[in-house]
Structures are given as structure tokens and as C-alpha cells.
Structure 1
Amino acid sequence: MLPEPTARLRFREMGAADLDAMAGLLGDPVVMKHYPSPKTREEAADWIAWNQRNYAEHNLGLWIVETLDGVFLGDCGLTWQVVDDVRELEVGYHLLPQHQGRGYATLAALACRALAEREHLAERLVAIIAPDNIPSQRVAERIGLPFDRATVSRSGLPVVVHAAALG
């Protein structure tokens, strides 16, 4: 199961061949500014393995996002997360700095929301975001996920949750 391609981008499952691209994405200090630290190459490999488990177990995960002509932009997708002891379907997105601010995150996240709605994957969709990550909060709002609440992540970090019921 993949989101439908848009007029500007397409999705595919990530695999071992994507390690260089994912290590570059997840190791970038700008991309990972709102995380405890950039990820190592080994952690990027673990990220790919986690997504492959998600594909196998849940038929969803974070997918590679690329332009229609194959330029790697980042990742975006749907994963199950626990927020305040409740299992929630989250839309997440990470884009390389040179591709930020061009509407790609919003397009990708909208395609993921549409997939969640079309396949009736959950009652609602959330985005779990660092409080100071205003660009990500704007993406969440543009795809119809308004601010829901402030809380603390399972790792103990403050986060804001944007959420909405799925149709």
C-alpha cells in the first residue's frame, strides 16, 4: 500500500539501497534540528529496518518521497505511535534542506492523509511535533490537522500534537 503519486512527486518503499540517501537525510543537522541529535549511518540503517518491519506488519510506514523523475527529496508516511498511552496513526515527514519550502512536505502529507482516509486506517490522524518546529506545525495545519494539545513524548521530550478525525 502506497500513497497515490501527486502531480509533483511519487512514493516507494525504502530498502537497503537507500542507505546513502537516508543517512544523508537523517544525518543532516538541519533536518534533525528538532531531534536529540542527527542519526549515524548505523541509526539510518536501523530506521530503514524499522520501516521495513512496518511495511510487513502494518502495510504502511515512512516511504521514500521523490520527484517524478527520481530525485530523492526525503521521507513521508504513516506510522503507529503511542501518545499519552493511546495508539495513534501519525503522519511524519523529513525533507532535505534544499527541498524544504517548496510545498513538497504538504503534498506528501496530503497524499498520506488521503491514503489513511481511503483505506480507513484509523479514526483520526495526528502529527507529533517539537514545540519550536513551526514549519512542521504549518504543514500539519495545511493538511487539516489543527493544534490539539501539548504533551510529553515517550522519550520525555515536550511535543505538540496536531490532530483531526479522518473521514
Structure 2
Amino acid sequence: MLPEPTARLRFREMHADDLDAMAGLLGDPDVMRHYPAAKTRAEADDWIAWNERNYAEHGFGLWVVETPDGVFLGDCGLTWQVVDDARELEVGYHLLPRHQGHGYATEAALACRALAEREHLAERLVAIIAPDNIPSQRVAERIRLPFDRATVSRSGTPVVVHSAQLG
């Protein structure tokens, strides 16, 4: 199960041979500035393995996002998360800095939202975002996930939740 390609993007499952690209993405301090720390190469490998487990168990996860000619942009997709003791379907996205600000995150996240709606994956979709990550909050709003509430993550860090019922 993959989101439909868009005019500028295609999606595919990530695998071990994506380690260099994913380590570059998740190890970039700009990409990870709203996380506790950038990820190591070993943590990027764990990220890929987590997504492979998600594909096997749920049929979805975070996918590699690339241009139609194969240029790696980042990742975007759907994962189950726990927010305030409730299991929620989250749309998440990370793009390399040189590809930010061009509408790719919004385009990819819309394709993921459309997949969640088409396949009836959940009743609601959320985006869990650091309070100071204004660009990600704007993406959430553009894909029709308005601000819902402020809370804390399972690790105890403050987050804002954007959410909407899926049609």
C-alpha cells in the first residue's frame, strides 16, 4: 500500500539500501532540530527496520519520498503513535533542508492523508509537532489538520497536536 504518486513526487518503501540517504536525512542537525538530537547511522538503520516492521504489520509506515527521476527528498508517511494514552494515526514528514520550502512536504502529506481516507485506516489523523516547529504546523494546517491541543509526548516533551476526522 503506497500513496498515489503526485505530479512531482513518488513514494516507495525504505529498505536497508537506503541507509546512506536516511542517515543523511536523520543525521542532519537542521532536519532534526526539533528532536532531542540528530540520529546516528545506527539509529537511522533502526528507523528503517522500524518502518519495515510497520509495512509488514500494518501495510504502511514512513516511505521514501523522491522525485519521478529518483532524487531523494526525504520521508513521509503514516505511523501509529500514542497521544494522551490513545492510539492515533499520525502523518509525519522530514525533508532535506535543500528541498524545504518548495511545497513537497504538503504535497506528500496530502497524498498520505488521501491514502488514509481511501483505505479507511483510522477515524482521525493527527500530526504531533514540537511547539516551536512552525513550518511543520503550517504543513499540518495546509492538509486540513487544524490545531487541536497542547500536551506532552510519551517522553515528557511538550508537543502540539493537529488533528481532524477522516472522511
TM-score (norm 2): 1.00
State the distance in 2 between where 1:95 and 1:85 align: 29
State the distance in 1 between where 2:120 and 2:156 align: 31
- Counterpart residue number, 1:4: 4
Per-residue CA shift, 1:18-52, capped at 9, x if unaligned?
A: 00000000000000000000000000000000000
- Counterpart residue number, 2:23: 23
Q: Secondary structure at the match of 1:51?
A: helix
Please report how far the alpha carbon of residue 98 of structure 1 lies from its aligned counterpart in structure 2 after TM superposition. 0.1
- Counterpart residue number, 2:96: 96
Residues 71-86 of structure 1: pairs in structure 2 closer than 5 A: 71-86=71-86
Please report how far the alpha carbon of residue 8 of structure 1 lies from its aligned counterpart in structure 2 after TM superposition. 0.3
State the distance in 1 between where 2:3 and 2:101 align: 21
- Counterpart residue number, 1:108: 108
Extract unaligned runs of 5+ from structure 1: none
Please report how far the alpha carbon of residue 124 of structure 1 lies from its aligned counterpart in structure 2 after TM superposition. 0.5
- Counterpart residue number, 1:137: 137
- Counterpart residue number, 1:60: 60
TM-score (norm 1): 1.00
Residue 39 in structure 1 maps to residue 57 in structure 2: no
- Counterpart residue number, 1:13: 13
Per-residue CA shift, 1:38-88, capped at 9, x if unaligned?
A: 000000000000000000000000000000110000000000000000000
Report the count of equivalent residues: 167
Extract unaligned runs of 5+ from structure 2: none
State the distance in 2 between where 1:48 and 1:83 align: 23
Residue 164 in structure 1 maps to residue 164 in structure 2: yes
Please report how far the alpha carbon of residue 90 of structure 1 lies from its aligned counterpart in structure 2 after TM superposition. 0.1
Q: Secondary structure at the match of 2:66?
A: strand
Counterpart code for 2:145: L
Q: Secondary structure at the match of 1:79?
A: strand
| Percent identical residues | 87
Please report how far the alpha carbon of residue 114 of structure 1 lies from its aligned counterpart in structure 2 after TM superposition. 0.1
Counterpart code for 1:57: E
State the distance in 2 between where 1:51 and 1:14 align: 7
Counterpart code for 1:80: W
State the distance in 1 between where 2:159 and 2:120 align: 26
Q: Secondary structure at the match of 2:105?
A: helix
Runs of 4+ in 1 over 4 A off after TM superposition: none
State the distance in 1 between where 2:161 and 2:54 align: 22
Please report how far the alpha carbon of residue 127 of structure 1 lies from its aligned counterpart in structure 2 after TM superposition. 0.1
Counterpart code for 1:103: G
